Structure 1
Amino acid sequence: MDRHSFVVAQHRGPTVQCPSHIEQQNLTSVSEFFLTGLSDDPELQPLLFGLFLSMYLVTVLGNLLIILAVSCDSHLHTPMYFFLSNLSLADIGFTSTTIPKMIVGIQTQSRAISYVGCLTQMSFFMLFGCLDSLLLAVMAYDRFVAICHPLHYMVIMNPRFCGLLVLASVFISLLVSQMHNSIVLQLTYFKDVEISHFFCDPSQLLNLACSDTSTNNIVMYFVGAISGFLPISGIFFSYYKIVSSILRVPSAGGKYKAFSTCGSHLSVVCLFYGTGLGVYLSSAVSRSPRKGAVASVVYTVVTPMLNPFIYSLRNRDIKRAMRRLFSNTI
């Protein structure tokens, strides 16, 4: 069966044609899109299904264990672990917006996604992706206060202020998500219904639009700067201050102790932004949507899956909480 038979393009308005500088072809305002996924090879589908199902389950279970450990252990009721549990929750949401749909599509051999479903998936993807970025910046600020202002740490990072930081991160993420949605909602007619990805990527939808999207691209890059550049600038500034403060510590043991409190967070930051930047650069160089989709797996699946392992393997408090959790359960 031809793969386009999975998609039913329905007209919601009159048929129009592209401008003269674009190849003349009929366009339609669609009710469904077609996600090409990672591969069209039928022999690879069972392997992809098993691989992504197992990775998704490991991601959800690992992050749920972090949340349970922090919630059940009173020793972990501190700002650092409060932010960590919220990061784990965001990671679960971030992965759950894309992978279950892909798994179901592989199992049912249907790659179609409704127009409303596409907008919903894109909205939640941007929401949790931006929330991940902002929470990493908040955690960097927490480490900055703990190392550079240790005597005032509990006064500055009080429960009310920590809650406000998380709420502000959620509010900004919602704003960014809705701005992306408003950009896509302005697109009425599309050249094609095939999205060369395994989820509804906003940039892919802009590429499919018939109308001039230069203004939309400018707005999207501006929103991307808010959700990406500002958090990473805050992280760099926090660690600049942290390193400057640690270098003034006279003893080697004191320096190691200070660095060890930042090790897990710094590893996650490098993994998150490193893979995201790698995907952006690889897609810009290769110009192949399929290769970009494969590279996107790293930051959409692999990074949220590795975060619980990074924090649990490098953190003695989390290890103790995990042991207490399992001992009370058994």
Structure 2
Amino acid sequence: MAELKRTPLYEEHKAAKAKLIDFGGWEMPVQYSGVIEEHQAVRKNAGLFDVSHMGEIDVQGKDALSFVQRIITNDASKLEDGKILYSPMCYPDGGIVDDLLVYQHTPEHFLLVVNASNTAKDFSWILEQVDNFQVTVENISDQYAQLALQGPQAEKILQGLTNVDLSALKYYTFCYGEVDDIRCLISRTGYTGEDGFEIYASSQSARQLWRRILEVGSAKGIQPIGLGARDTLRFEARLPLYGNELGENITPLEAGLGIFVKLDKSDFIGRDVLLKQKEQGVPRKLVGLEMIGRGIARSHYPLQKNGEEIGFVTSGSYSPTLDKNIALGLIRTDLAVLGETVDVVIRGKAVQAKIIPSLFYKRS
């Protein structure tokens, strides 16, 4: 069995008595005080996440912009220096390689932030696409630690540690600045449905940053947050997870990410298939589900209508914010009707659920 990788914050998690699990080959904290308590801390106050396992891929060269345009479905030509774009990245058949964030330093220099479990696969795939583009592509994941500070108190907490005017940092933009005298890249992004920041620093600086943010945030109710609450938070806000809502057998259009697929831009990998799918109509659609019967719909449980299989659950859990058992499911488009019922097959038993709007939570 391969040895699990650890982030620079592993000793901090151990000292905090976090419950550690194998997450895509990384030994990561799933919870500290408990998933529901941590979830509510982020919704009400603030939470600090170790996301140092995420992958960072650097793309530089005179063809950097046209290369990035080729490999993503969104339109990077709309970016400006210091701005960020979310995008799927597809195979030629329209299936999803990964979803990622594109940071533009300049039109000749981009940072791609990819999912931890996909970093090696993504890097290999991106390298294969270089062809005649004049670019260099480098996996620089080991150089970075990444912390995510999320929640209504996030700006006030971080402002106490930085010389950057955070009120001027708009959503999906980034800058460089000092946090506790450590040079960092600070972006106003996140994966919880709340306002917040992601802070990139050298691996050597991670423990100092972690401790100081928790120290300064203690008066504002900050808590360290594990992967358990990270999942319930992103799920309530309908933020997709690779391996659940996204995958090589699911297109971005089926996953409800059509807004991030710019079919009118220059050619990109997967465009022909996605254009055809848009013209003919998507065969499957992602829907929200609320359990009527008892039970939790877990990822990959079958979904049925009148005993016939019509799709599967992508994500499901108890929602601490709504106090209900909810799920997302990928089902036949013709059956994706609000208010209609479907059956979730839980351990061989059909349990009824109602189709509801899939954005379960939006911050006010």
TM-score interval (norm. to shorter): under 0.3
Which has more helix, going by share of residues? 1
Bigger Rg, structure 1 or 2? 1
TM value normalised by structure 1? 0.23
Higher RCO, 1 vs 2 (CA within 8 Å, ≥6 residues apart): 1
